[in-house]
Amino acid sequence: MPTPRRATKRRCTKAPQEAPNPGSPSELAGRNPRTHRKQHRNADMTSPAQTPPSLTPLPVLASLSFNLVNHLSGAEESQPPITLEQDLGPNSIDADLWLELFGGDLTDLSDWEDEEEVPDPVEPKKRLRLDCVEIPVVRRRHHGPQSKKNSKHREKRRLVKVSLGPKRRFRMSRHSLGYVFNHAETVPVAFSATQMDSAKGAHTRKRGPSVSDQRPPSLRRMLNAGFQRIAWDGCTPRPIVDRDGRVIAVLCGWPSGGSYQAALDSAFGAIMAEGGTAPFGVQATTASRRGAFPAYNVGCAMGMGSSRPVALRNGAMGPALQRLLNHEGVRRMASYHNAAFALWAPRLYRRYEETSTTMYQNNPTLPRNFPDSVFTAATFNFGGNVWTYKHRDFFNWAYGWCFVTALGDFDATRGGQMVLWELELVIDFPHAATIALPSAVITHSNIPVASGDKRVSFTQYSAGPIFRWVENGCQTEKEMEQEDPTTFAEMMAGKSTAHLARLALYSTMDKLMQTL
């Protein structure tokens, strides 16, 4: 019979850690207690002895029963558990001492374990690193029937967008609107839109003595007269607000990004090139009411005795103007005019859109300068030395906006400033800058550019008589009087208050912010 192993109670000098309750939820959730004890018993049988920490052994006990030793060593699991009632033999110890040493669950071997449990190292899973490999994405272009189908689909979508009109295409997101309105710095003026003079019916300006002044204004003279100078960079939008809060004009600026600037640089070169090869050359033969430079209008107009809108004829200059209308930079410029108009004066813009749509539907043969513009006419000012006299544009709709864009190679701090006389403003107006103003009722001019600088301009507008013709049912007042005298009488009675309806088309900053 083999000699039983002497059992000693090892006690660590360090403060013992409280073992979790085997029946606690954390123990049950973490591991199976029975399986865990089996693993430790097998580890004690097979693993080599490890160097124990510093321990204080108790006095050696007398030999215990062999069954107790086997139970503690895990030799037989089938043997019944040992109780105090069992005979421990002649070398039995006192029951109180036995309870002190081995009281509790005899199957709990936590006191026989080492101080810390070192789990077996777990080999990490190998993961595929995708950031180390750069896989180029190659887009294959189909050249078969699918490519033709896609081309037809794109063309169909383009035609649908054109049929929807400019209002649908120039809809901006709320985020973009909020960014523009929040970053726009207003220019308040003491002038009120109610002071604008217009003819009866508010379609054209009031007839009177010409305000044209051919003397070149100087910046020093304007400032000495009390005018306010606006040092504008040409990019940041700045609405001009009258004393009643109406946005009566806007320094529109230009879109962000370098492509628009590059497009307008190209447009300036094209206008200079066409002006140099045109029959009139680069110098104006006679001075007009607006300035000593050659200017050509293109599109549709009405007035001077015409009974309906007509196409403007330019003779030998027609091919050059058509090439400019097809130029990518000029089209970008006209498209931006339209978008800025819809942004800053949405009610006025809708009036322009309804009027131009009715005109073209009534006479589809009329030429249209740009498919995405609500304006019916445009003007190219040639020569390279463009600066205007003090004047008003008689044919523009009285309370409507005219868009002007300056192009050239010049120093905007030395010349080319825009002067708004009723508003008492002198505005630095650099290359690619755009302004929207009611040019029929606001007197405006330019300061000449410095010697050696080059400047041209491009404008868009709609003639006031076209609006009157559309309001009368696409007929003149004489035709309306003959066809429907009652309606004609009502129209004539409403002419005295027509300017109030025109003023209601302007927006305020509060109204614009409410669109967000």
pLDDT tens-digit readout, 82-119: 444 444 444 455 555 545 555 555 445 444 444 455 55
In a domain, 3, yes or no: no
108 within domain boundaries: yes
Domain boundary (112, 128, 153) is at: 112
Indicate if 411 and 333 belong to the same structural domain.
yes
Handedness of CA 260, 265, 269, 274 (dihedral sign): positive
Q: Where are the beta strands (DSSP E) in 440-499?
A: 444-446, 454-461
Q: Please check whether residues 100 and 169 belong to one and the same domain.
A: no
Instruction: Give the Cα separation of 325 and 369 in Å (integer).
Output: 7
Burial 115-128 (b: 16+ CB within 10 A, else e): eeeeeeeeeeeeee
Regarding whether 460 and 357 lie in a shared domain, the answer is yes
Torsion sign over Cα 189, 190, 192, 197: negative
> Is residue 85 in a domain?
yes
Q: Is residue 469 part of a domain?
A: yes
Q: What is the pLDDT of residue 183?
A: 77
pLDDT number for residue 342: 93
Q: Are residues 75 and 207 in the same domain?
A: no
| DSSP assigned state of 246 | B
321 and 430 together in one domain = yes
In a domain, 156, yes or no: no
d(CA 342, CA 512) in angstroms, rounded, equals 11
Do 89 and 173 fall into the same domain?
no
Q: List Cα–Cα distances, 99 to 44, 95, 388, 409, 493, in angstroms.
A: 25, 6, 116, 106, 119
Angle between helices 258-277 and 328-344 (to 10 degrees): 120
Question: 194 and 92, same structural domain?
Answer: no
Residues of the chain with confidence (pLDDT) below 50: 9, 12, 25-29, 60-69, 71-78, 82-91, 98, 106-107, 109-115, 127-138, 166-169, 281-286
Sole residue written with tokens 């097979």:
46
Q: Is 216 a domain residue?
A: yes
Judgement on whether residues 51 and 199 belong to the same structural domain of the protein: no
Q: Is residue 60 part of a domain?
A: yes
Q: For position 134, what pLDDT does the model report?
A: 44
Contacts of 479 (CB under 8 A, 6+ apart): 307, 472
Specify whether 192 is located in the same domain as 105. no
pLDDT at 314 (0 to 100): 87
Distance (Å, whole) CA 416 – CA 447: 5
User: Are 239 and 97 in a shared domain?
Assistant: no
What CATH number is attached to the domain comprising 200? Answer: 3.60.130.30
* Nearest alpha-carbon partner for 312 in 398, 377, 360: 377
Domain boundary among 112, 137, 153: 112
Note the pLDDT tens digit of each residue in 253-286. Answer: 888 777 899 999 999 999 999 988 766 544 444 4
* Co-location of 238 and 330 in the same domain: yes
CA distances from 35 to 21, 28, 121, 401 (A): 16, 12, 19, 88
Q: Please count the structural domains in the chain.
A: 2
Provide the b/e sequence for 256-291 (b: ≥16 CB within 10 Å): eeeebeebbeebbebbbebbeebeeeeebeeeeebb
pLDDT at position 494: 87
Domain end (from 96, 112, 128): 112
Write out pLDDT tens, residues 165-205: 544 445 566 667 777 777 788 999 999 999 988 888 888 87
Asked whether residue 106 falls in the same domain as residue 188, the answer is: no
Round the average pLDDT of the chain to a whole number and report it. 77
Domain with 101 in it: 25-112
Q: For residue 152, is it within any domain?
A: no
